[in-house]
A and B are shown apart, each in its own frame.
Chain A
Amino acid sequence: MLTKRIIPCLDIKDGRTVKGVNFVNLRDAGDPVELAQRYAAEGADELVFLDISASEEKRKTLAKLVRDVAQAIDIPFTVGGGINAMDDVGILLDNGADKVSINSAAVRRPVLISEVANRFGTQCVVVAIDAKQIAAEWIVHLVGGKVPTERKLFPWAQEAVARGAGELLFTSMDHDGTKQGFANTALRQLSETVTVPVIASGGAGTMQHFIDTFVEGNADAALAASVFHFKEISIPELKHELRLHKIPMR
Chain B
Amino acid sequence: MSVAIIDYGAGNIQSIHFALERLGVSATLSSDPETIQSASHVIFPGVGEASSAMAKLKSTQLDTLIPELVQPVLGICLGMQLMCNSSEEGNTTGLGIFDTEAVRFTTTRNVPHMGWNEVKGNGVLFDKIPNDIHFYLVHSYYAIPNENTVGHCLYDINFAAAMAKNNFYGTQFHPEKSGAIGEQLLQNFLSL
A-side residues, CB < 8 A to B, are 1-5, 40, 45, 67, 70-71, 74-76, 93-98, 118-124, 166-167, 195-197, 220-221, 250
Tell me the bound Cα distance from A93 to B183 in angstroms. Answer: 21
A122 and B112 within 8 A (CB):
yes
Q: Mark B154-173, 1 if CB is under 8 A from A, else 0.
A: 11000000000000000000
Q: Is B134 close to A, CB under 8 A?
A: yes
A220 and B11 within 8 A (CB):
no
* Given known A76-B177, A250-B134, contact A220–B115 (CB-CB < 8 A): yes
Q: Is B88 close to A, CB under 8 A?
A: no
Q: Summarize A's interface: helix, strand, loop or mixed.
A: loop
Interface residues in B72-112 by Cβ distance below 8 A to A read 109-112
Q: Is B49 close to A, CB under 8 A?
A: yes
Q: Is B14 close to A, CB under 8 A?
A: yes
Tell me the bound Cα distance from A147 to B70 in angstroms. Answer: 58
Q: Chain B residues near A96: list those with CB within 8 A.
A: 12, 14-15, 18
Give 7 new A-B contacts, CB below 8 A, not counting A96-B18, A197-B115.
A2-B115, A45-B115, A71-B18, A74-B178, A75-B136, A122-B112, A196-B110
B117 and A2 within 8 A (CB):
yes
Q: Chain B residues near A195: list those with CB within 8 A.
A: 109-111
In the complex formed, the residue of A with least CB distance to B137 is A2
Tell me the bound Cα distance from A70 to B19 in angstroms. Answer: 9
Q: Which of A5, A70, A166, A250 contacts B112 (CB 8 A)?
A: A166
A166 and B182 within 8 A (CB):
no
Q: Chain B residues near A121: list those with CB within 8 A.
A: 11, 47-49
Chain B: minimal CB distance from A198 (Å):
8
Chain A: minimal CB distance from B171 (Å):
15
Tell me the bound Cα distance from A4 to B117 in angstroms. Answer: 10
Q: Counting chain A CB atoms within 10 Å of each CB, which of B18, B140, B154 scores highest?
A: B18
15 A-B pairs within 8 Å (CB atoms) are namely: A3-B117, A5-B115, A5-B116, A74-B19, A74-B176, A75-B177, A75-B178, A75-B179, A76-B136, A93-B12, A94-B14, A96-B15, A98-B15, A121-B48, A123-B114
